[in-house]
Structure 1
Amino acid sequence: MKGATDVTYLLKFSPWQQALLATLFTWGVTALGATFVFGFKTIRDSALAIMYGFAAGVMIAASFWSLLDPAIELARELDKVPWLVVSSGFILGGLLLYLADKAIPLLQINQQAKHQPSRKVKQTILLVFSITLHNIPEGLAVGVAFGAIQAASGTQHLNMLLAAVTVAIGIGLQNFPEGAAVAIPLRQNGMSRTKAFFYGQASGMVEPVAGILGALLVTYVNQILPYALAFAAGAMIYVACKELIPEAHARTKAESHWAILGIMAGFTLMMVLDVALG
């Protein structure tokens, strides 16, 4: 249990402070991915496929063991109908991401953009804004997970902390290839490395704000906690299925085994960590 005791220092902070630290981490991982623009103008498709697949596997595993399973237990403790609570929260989380995708579709910067400066600027702004909007529920997911710690007691306190850290790690892992996937295409289309890095990491800026709001919400409205945990799981599954898995397969096309290996590795790692430490 040494891995568990390593994170107990976080219990010294209030839930919103824990959420802030966690989402600063997820933002930092986005920025770390964007730094690839300084060393590379392109990344091997097989490497990106593994990264996207790994992030998807982590998020799928964390959605159940770190979010849905605790949500079911909390629903029982609050004398609610567990299946109704988790299914409604889960669907709402996915629905919010779906509406975000419909409101501002993610745009790809294509080669024609560098010959059309005004169009290039517009696409860049929309690209960053759409990913930023997409990251709001992800920040909420982290905040909700840390806010849930407040309602736990006894041994559950540590278990919920470990679950929240797992969620933050999962979101952070999927942010890493996202930062690179934004910055590198911008560099390929003629933007300077510094500007490409700025836009690449900018999408993660909103996560600390959303994380604090999520933590405060569930801290003061305890009855919505199981719904909120299920909501976070729905948001994570949507991201994994809508963006990460298709992107992982698209990167390798015929050689889809790289994507599958990444998904299996990410899922296995998070499953082992959640079961062993939880």
Structure 2
Amino acid sequence: MAVVLSVVAFLMTLLGGVVALRVRDRRHLVLGLAGGLILGVVAFDLVPGSLELSDAAPLGVPAPMIGFAAGFLLLHVVEQAAAVHRAHEDEYAPHEHAHGGASGRAGVLAAGALVGHSFVDGLSIGLGFQAGTGVGVLVALAVVVHDFADGFNTVTAASLGRSGRRVPLALLLADALAPVAGALVTLLVTVPKAVLGPYLGFFAGILLYLAAAEILPEAHARHPRVLTLCCTGAGMLAVFFVVGLAG
């Protein structure tokens, strides 16, 4: 099941990349909805589920919440080190778009970071199913939702400073295949439940960072915000009702 759902993530990543190549003025609504779905999965399922799986509490702090903070902070540090935000620097200041220039290198670096992060997504799907079918399905839902944004952002970043599509399409394919590879790895590895709780908390922190620092700011850039906010709220409500009905 984990591998099957990772294939769905593969298709969703490709879809996000295709949309990035074609859509112009409606992408903020799609990204707003994706951000809301991710926030809902984090708040209504991953964090509560991780707390149920682990009783460990170093210094009185639940281990999954330590993982949550570590995941959020780690992605922030990695993003800053890899200069991922340079992919969007044209929103703030003029810069060169010469082929192979600084913006092109930064864009490829950003796209490469997204490929690595998609591999971790595949691992997360497999480990979620090791924690339980319900957890696995909802983790897969979160991955599938934000892999659309990953595909979108991979193409956008890799296209900086480039007029051709060969490099963006190659990186999009790598990004789409990465979660399938990660899910396959989990078929060979079994993780104890004591580790799954902190890990799910860690993954929730990563997802929260992606939604708060990447997807939602991109959704609100240069567009009227009311409809985007409505899409974000609709995404959160959808997950709330899905989790509530499943429970």
TM-score, scaled to structure 2? 0.82
**Relative to structure 1, is the Cα distance of residues 139 and 92 closer, same or farther in structure 2, using a 3 angstrom cutoff?**
farther
The partner residue of 1:231 within 199, 202, 207 is 202
* RMSD between superposed Cα atoms in Å: 2.8
Corresponding residue number in structure 2 for 1:49: 28
> Does structure 2 retain, via aligned residues, the 8 Å contact 1:85–1:226?
yes
1:138-149 correspondence runs (5 A): 138-149=121-132
The partner residue of 1:261 within 230, 233, 239 is 230
1:216: how far off? 5.6
> Does structure 1 retain, via aligned residues, the 8 Å contact 2:31–2:216?
yes
Corresponding residue number in structure 2 for 1:6: none
> Does structure 1 retain, via aligned residues, the 8 Å contact 2:87–2:160?
no
- SS at 1:35 equivalent: helix
Task: Work out the CA distance in 1 between the residues paired with 2:72 and 2:123.
Answer: 13
**Relative to structure 1, is the Cα distance of residues 87 and 186 closer, same or farther in structure 2, using a 3 angstrom cutoff?**
closer
Are 1:205 and 2:177 matched, yes or no?
A: yes
1:1-278 correspondence runs (5 A): 10=1, 18=2, 20-36=3-19, 40=22, 42-44=23-25, 47-76=26-55, 80-81=56-57, 84-106=62-84, 107-108=86-87, 114-119=97-102, 121-149=104-132, 161-183=133-155, 191-193=163-165, 195-213=167-185, 219-252=190-223, 255-278=224-247
User: Structure 1: any 5+ residue segments left out of the alignment?
Assistant: 1-9, 11-17, 150-160
> Does structure 2 retain, via aligned residues, the 8 Å contact 1:66–1:164?
no
Task: Work out the CA distance in 2 between the residues paired with 1:264 and 1:164.
Answer: 24
1:95: how far off? 2.1
Amino acid at match of 1:274: V
Task: Work out the CA distance in 2 between the residues paired with 1:237 and 1:167.
Answer: 13
The structure with more radius of gyration: 1
> Does structure 2 retain, via aligned residues, the 8 Å contact 1:50–1:258?
yes
1:195: how far off? 4.3
Find runs of 4+ consecutive structure 1 residues off by over 4 angstroms. 109-114, 118-121, 184-190, 212-217
User: Cα deviations across residues 148-173 of structure 1 (Å, max 9, x unaligned)?
Assistant: 12xxxxxxxxxxx2332222122222
**Relative to structure 1, is the Cα distance of residues 36 and 49 closer, same or farther in structure 2, using a 3 angstrom cutoff?**
closer
User: Structure 2: any 5+ residue segments left out of the alignment?
Assistant: none
What is the aligned length?
240
Task: Work out the CA distance in 2 between the residues paired with 1:190 and 1:35.
Answer: 17
> Does structure 2 retain, via aligned residues, the 8 Å contact 1:68–1:230?
yes
> Does structure 1 retain, via aligned residues, the 8 Å contact 2:103–2:160?
no
